[in-house]
């Protein structure tokens, strides 16, 4: 018995549906595969550097009755934290230990309009920022460093690469990265990926730090930010350079 015209028509419809489904799958797979191939082809060269052996002696805070439950310091009621109006006292990176005196903790004040310009060193966060000041030990007592000018007066002159690194980190709120690796899933925007390091210049030092652009919605880019530090303590950010994006953060929104 010969197949009927209706059988042929049904077969054609089924074939069309299968071809359409295959086309949709290909359209979904090909861009992802192409992006992965681009990531492999554009994989940058990684330049690694060893971090300096720095540390911060926090014993003056402990002698004032404060205890550390990382990353927060808890101090007695009426102690330094309350005296300075800090919402929280946060521990700092050991990489700030190149300064003398070194910051012992970050005094964070939060709020949309908490502090006027010149009354804090830098701010962090997005819609609800935290304003950063530092606690230091000087002449046997604790004191608060309110702004960049006070920090500069304590730190200058900047005479070593370690001091330059600590000063750039303390003044700018950027990050030092020494544990980078090449991830084939990342979207790279550079041919060379360098870790944090310090170069000596005619005026002082150039420190390579990093900034994650996390405010708002993705994609979020990690930037390299060169920071010029003079021997007199002047500090200036140079033009940020985009480095890479992590696709896992593409749908992340941060307020």
- Structural domain includes residue 234: yes
- Structural domain includes residue 21: no
pLDDT value, residue 33: 54
Q: Give pTM, 2 decimals.
A: 0.82
Please indicate, yes or no, whether residues 247 and 211 belong to a single structural domain of this protein.
yes
Please indicate, yes or no, whether residues 149 and 186 belong to a single structural domain of this protein.
no
Q: How far apart are CA 38 and CA 185, in angstroms?
A: 10
Q: How far apart are CA 79 and CA 247, in angstroms?
A: 45
- Structural domain includes residue 33: no
Is the pLDDT at 205 greater than 60? The verdict is yes
Assess contact for 106 and 134: CB atoms under 8 A: yes
- Structural domain includes residue 98: yes
Q: What's the pLDDT band for 7 if we cut at 50, 70, 90?
A: very low
Is the pLDDT at 151 greater than 60? The verdict is yes
Range of the domain at 87: 59-155
- Structural domain includes residue 164: no
Is the pLDDT at 6 greater than 90? The verdict is no
Question: Which of 98, 55, 94 is closest to 207 using CA atoms?
Answer: 98
Q: How far apart are CA 168 and CA 233, in angstroms?
A: 9
Q: What's the pLDDT band for 1 if we cut at 50, 70, 90?
A: very low
Write the CA distances from 13 to 1, 2, 105, 221, integer angstroms. 22, 19, 71, 47
Please indicate, yes or no, whether residues 128 and 194 belong to a single structural domain of this protein.
no
- Structural domain includes residue 128: yes
- Region 202-225: what's the mean pLDDT? 94
Q: What's the pLDDT band for 3 if we cut at 50, 70, 90?
A: very low
Please indicate, yes or no, whether residues 132 and 181 belong to a single structural domain of this protein.
no
Please indicate, yes or no, whether residues 93 and 145 belong to a single structural domain of this protein.
yes
- Structural domain includes residue 139: yes
Q: How far apart are CA 32 and CA 222, in angstroms?
A: 22
Indicate the range of 14-28, 62-76, 164-178, 211-225 predicted with least confidence. Answer: 14-28
- Structural domain includes residue 142: yes
Please indicate, yes or no, whether residues 83 and 146 belong to a single structural domain of this protein.
yes
Number of domains into which the chain is organized = 2
């Amino acid at each position: 018995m010969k197949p009927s015209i209706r059988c042929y028509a049904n077969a054609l419809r089924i074939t069309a549906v299968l071809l359409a489904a295959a086309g949709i799958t290909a359209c979904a797979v090909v861009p992802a595969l192409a992006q992965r191939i681009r990531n492999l082809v554009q994989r940058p060269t990684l330049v690694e550097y060893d971090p300096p052996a720095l540390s911060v002696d926090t014993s003056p805070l402990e002698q004032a009755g404060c205890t550390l439950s990382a990353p927060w310091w808890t101090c007695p009621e009426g102690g330094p934290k309350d005296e300075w109006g800090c919402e929280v006292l946060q521990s700092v990176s050991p990489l700030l230990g190149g300064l003398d005196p070194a910051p012992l903790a970050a005094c964070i004040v939060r709020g949309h309009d908490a502090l006027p310009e010149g009354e804090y060193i830098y701010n962090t966060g997005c819609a609800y920022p935290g304003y950063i000041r530092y606690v230091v030990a000087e002449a046997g007592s604790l004191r608060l460093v309110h702004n960049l000018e006070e920090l500069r007066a304590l730190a200058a002159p900047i005479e070593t690469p370690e001091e330059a690194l600590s000063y750039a980190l303390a003044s700018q709120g950027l990050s030092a990265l020494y544990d980078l690796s090449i991830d084939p899933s990342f979207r790279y925007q550079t041919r060379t990926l360098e870790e944090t390091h310090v170069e000596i210049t005619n005026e002082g030092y150039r420190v390579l730090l990093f900034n994650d652009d996390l405010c708002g919605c993705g994609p979020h880019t990690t930037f390299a930010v060169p920071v010029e530090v003079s021997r007199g303590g002047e500090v200036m950010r140079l033009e940020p350079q985009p480095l890479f994006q992590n696709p896992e953060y593409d749908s992340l929104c941060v307020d």
